[in-house]
Amino acid sequence: MTLHRRILILVSAIALLAAVGALAVVRASSRADEKNQVQAGGPPITRGEVTLAPGDGGRRIVFRNMAWGPHRDELSTVPADAPEGARTASAVSCLRFHSAGGTGICLQAEKGGVQDSYKAVVLDAHLKEVSSHPLAGIPTRARVSPGGHLVAWTVFVGGDSYAGTNFSTRTSLLDLRTGRFDASLEDFAIHKDGKTYRNADVNFWGVTFAADEQTFYATLATGGQTYLVRGDLTARTVTTLRENLECPSLSPDGTRLVFKKRVPGLSPDAPWRLYVLDLATMAETPLAEERSVDDQVVWTDDRTVVYSLPGDFGADLYSLPTDGSGAPARYMTSALAPAFLG
Amino acid sequence: MYVADSRGTPAPAVTPEPQAVAPGIRPGRRAALAPTVLALGTVSLITDVSSEMVTAVLPLYLVAGLGLTPLGFGLLDGLYNGVSALVRLTGGHLGDRFGRHKALAGIGYGLSALCKPLLLLAHTLPAIGAVLALDRTGKGLRTAPRDALISLSAAPEDRGRAFGVHRAMDTAGALIGPILAFLILRGAAEGYDAVFTVSACVAALGVLVLVLFVPGRRTAPTATGAPVSLRASFGLLGRRDLRRISLCALLLGLCTVSDAFVFLLLQHSTGIADRWFALLPLGTAAAFFLLALPLGRLADRIGRWRVFLGGHLALLAAYGILLVGGDQPALPYAVLLLHGAFYAATDGVLMATAAGAVPEEHQGGGLALVQTGQALARFAASLGFGAAWTFWGARPALAVAAVLLAGAVALCVRLRPQDGAGGGAAPEAGADPSGPEAPVADPAV
């Protein structure tokens, strides 16, 4: 084949491949634009004032609005007794969010020159920024203690070309009373089976706080196994309590945890079921959700939890009794990361 | 690291004309860079743009796009490494056996290209794992035949430069890929399918450039005229120099702390803010990119073995800085520069060295052998370092790794390959008549 002909083939191939690539980018970008258009049949949303103060305007849900339109991803609120009613959107966007005691934690994406970066923003009751902390990776979990004094968040770190496909998590704790910031829970001493435990592969995620504003529960992963740990913020220790337990969430009365558990025999990409653990007896009860849930649930009261599952517009919320009875019921469409206030 | 390099080896018959840098000035036959090397470099550049596009957005895609928890993903990674080593040996041997390195490399590049559109269809973790495994297979299959093509198309005394050019172009692709991917995601939020489609197009272009512009010359038949047998491939270790090179690559590989740990240690000892953590590998890659060609040329002039060991001394220096620590702002830059210099002085240079130690008909198998030994050793080192970190803590583990590395370098100074490209002085060093008419000392079994 002559050089001339080879160059001709190359140039035509470049033109063809460039056209295919450009088409894919244009299609993806018009699809992204579509998400900025209000979807017919979606919940009505208007811009308004959103506060995190517990007493304001009765019992409310504050959440990340996933419905398409100009307020997509904004913190929004609805009355707790009318979850499918009209939404009020703030101008604050969050990927993950939680709130309690007049404090909010909002994990945000910051548009960068080329790549987005992420930050954790502590919000006061009027959604004003109290402090901001850069994040090492993609946000996954966020929690505020019941009294609003402690916040915790977890990000995924990794995915760079040299580290291969290994991922790790990093969980940070912030005490708003003292300003003490623990960049990584991995600095806490680990007590496992009565001994101090150390391993380079330790990962923490999914913190949930107790009402004493000092005790917390979280997931510890090491050696291919996950554990429930109870942590003490003052002593800076965590103690393993139980195996195969992820993303615990403590009930308002502090007696039970709902968590996700890897159930053997299920598909490895959807291996989780929800269980409730009674902390007094350490007895486990399966909940009535048959689908795999990859979320840290939120308690609406001492008998019910709410969690997200993938939906038509990102995610929908479902509610479920915590005594193992009943059936999951769709609670809200197009919503993620709810917090119940008041 | 250049200082460290001159300390590393007793200087034998000294380099002639160290100033004669420009190719045209030097007397004798310093040929222009072979077009094949440039073509292969271009293929690698394009392919790396494609694959690093995917690597860069994969975690984001898994977490944000598919809503998966990617933690279990790392567990599959070790498995792939083992598979990849076997595939690499197979690719090297088959290339030799049929004298068709280009075809083998083409199949490898083609397999990896095929994986990009498949990512559009895979929505579960096992399916994505399978696609990535196939991608690794393609990478394993093509590496040795491609390196064989590079060494066969360069003049023996220019192999360091040829591999340097190739590795620089390869790394340039790795630097461009993530930028392209994130530009696409900027234009189209959550446009992961667009990233994968563009990546597939880029990969296809890479295969096309290989097919069109890399000459598919068959290597000359063996002395007996029979195809290279499996036994002969295994018998390669009977060659004293290749045995020594493989042994040293293995030994040094066992003392090499894997990149992920280096970056973690760097963050531990200097307290780099979390938000910069993901950029650390780019620092290493940038230094690798800038230094690959100059160090490859240096290797041709002053001896490849010296530069190869000098690269490990650069790594040792990086360990030293990490151990001493401190909060000088220049410290992370110094570590990343030394870390990149380590790759620039070892990755292609080792291949250039090994190429001189095996005859033409065994290039694929010989290079695969050295690469595989090194890769397995590094994998073992990574497991060992993780355990040492657990039992002793990060700094003691690093101190032990540093002592072992220093010992290994000292040993490898003594194990220096005699003839072939490893020697100290320049002209003799490279001038290994590696044609089939001149079988090297040890006839194939």
For residue A162, which residues of chain B lie inside 8 Å, CB to CB?
259-260, 263, 281, 284-285
Chain A residue numbers touching B178 (CB-CB < 8 A): 115, 161
Contact: A25, B187; criterion CB under 8 Å:
yes
Distance from A288 to chain B by nearest Cα, in Å?
22
List all residues of chain B from 35 to 74 with a beta carbon under 8 Å from chain A: 52, 55-56, 58-60, 63-64, 67-74
- CA dist., res. B183 & res. B71, Å (int): 26
> Predicted confidence band at A77 (pLDDT cuts at 50, 70, 90)?
very high
What is the pLDDT at residue A163? 34
Closest Cβ–Cβ partner in B182, B202, B260 for A166: B260
Q: B216 — contact with chain A (CB < 8 Å)?
A: no
Q: Encode A20-45: b = buried (16+ Cβ within 10 Å), e = exposed.
A: ebeebbeebbeebeebeeeeeebbeb
Chain B residues 176-195 within an 8 A CB cutoff of chain A: 177-179, 182-191, 193-194
Residues 6+ apart with CB under 8 A from A64: A73, A74, A75, A76, A94, A95, A96, A97, A335, A336, A337
Nearest CA in chain A to B200: A21
Say which of A24, A31, A117 has its CB closest to residue B275: A117
pLDDT tens by residue, A145-176? 999 999 999 998 764 433 344 567 889 999 99
Mean pLDDT score of chain A: 91
Digitized pLDDT (tens) for each residue of chain B, 445 residues in all: 222 222 223 333 333 333 333 344 444 445 678 899 999 999 999 999 999 998 888 877 876 666 665 454 444 555 566 677 789 999 999 999 888 999 999 999 999 999 999 998 888 777 887 888 888 899 999 999 999 999 999 999 999 999 999 999 999 999 999 889 989 988 887 889 999 999 999 999 999 999 999 987 666 555 555 667 777 777 888 888 999 999 999 999 999 988 878 888 888 777 777 667 777 888 999 999 999 999 999 999 999 999 999 999 999 999 999 998 777 888 899 999 999 999 999 999 999 999 999 998 899 999 999 999 998 898 888 888 878 887 888 889 999 999 999 999 999 999 888 754 444 433 333 333 333 333 333 333 2
> For residue B391, which residues of chain A lie inside 8 Å, CB to CB?
198
Q: How many CB pairs under 8 A join A and B?
A: 173
Q: A245-278 burial by CB neighbour count: b if 16+ within 10 A, else e? A: bbbbbbbeeeebbbbbbbeeeeeebebbbbbbbe
Range from A198-207, A314-323, B21-30, B323-332 carrying the lowest mean pLDDT: B21-30
- Which residue has 């590049």 as its token pair? B109
Inter-residue contact B12 to B425 (CB < 8 Å): yes
A31: chain B residues, CB-CB within 8 Å: 188, 191
Contact A114 B183 (CB under 8 A): yes
Angle (deg, nearest 10), helices B331-355 and B125-153: 60
Q: How many CB atoms lie within 10 A of CB A335?
A: 27
What is the nearest CA distance from A294 to chain B, expressed in angstroms? 8
Beta-carbon separation of A200 and B390 below 8 A: yes
The whole-number pLDDT of residue B264 equals 81
pLDDT at position B30: 56
Predicted pLDDT at B71? 52
Q: Is the confidence at residue A300, as pLDDT, over 70? A: yes
- DSSP for A182-223 reads ES-GGGSEEEETTEEE--TT-EEEEEEE-TTSSEEEEEEEET
Q: Tell me how long chain B is.
A: 445
| Best mutation target, B53, B195, B274, B389, to test chain A (most A CBs within 10 A) | B274
Q: For residue B198, give the nearest of A24, A137, A199 by CB distance.
A: A24
- Chain B residues touching A17 at Cβ < 8 A: 201-202, 204-205
Q: In angstroms, what separates the C-alpha of B195 from chain A's closest C-alpha?
A: 8
Segment A83-110, tens digit of pLDDT: 999 999 999 999 999 999 999 999 998 8
Type of residue numbered A140: T
Confidence category of residue A198, pLDDT binned at 50, 70, 90:
confident
Q: Which residues, including other chains, have CB under 8 Å from residue B98's CB and lie 6 or more apart?
A: B227
- For chain A, helix, strand, coil in percent to 5 are 10, 50, 40
A205-214 core/surface letters (b: 16 or more CB in 10 A; e: else): bbbbbbeebb
Nearest residue of A to residue B120, measured between CA atoms: A24
- Kindly report, residue by residue over A219-247, the tens digit of the pLDDT: 998 877 899 999 999 999 999 999 999 99
Calculate the CA A156 to chain-centre distance.
11
Over the stretch A19-32, which tens digit does the pLDDT of each residue have?
999 999 999 999 88
Question: A303: Cβ–Cβ under 8 A, 6 or more apart, which residues?
Answer: A321, A322, A323
Instruction: Tell me the shortest Cα–Cα distance from B430 to chain A, in angstroms.
Output: 32
Q: How many CA atoms lie within 13 A of A313 on its CB side?
A: 23
Q: Which of B63, B182, B281 sits opposite A163 (nearest CB)?
A: B281
Which pLDDT value is given to residue A217?
98
Residues A132-141, mean pLDDT to the nearest whole number: 89
- Chain B hits for A10, Cβ within 8 Å: 208-209, 212-213
Cβ contacts (< 8 Å) between B395 and chain A: which residues? Answer: none
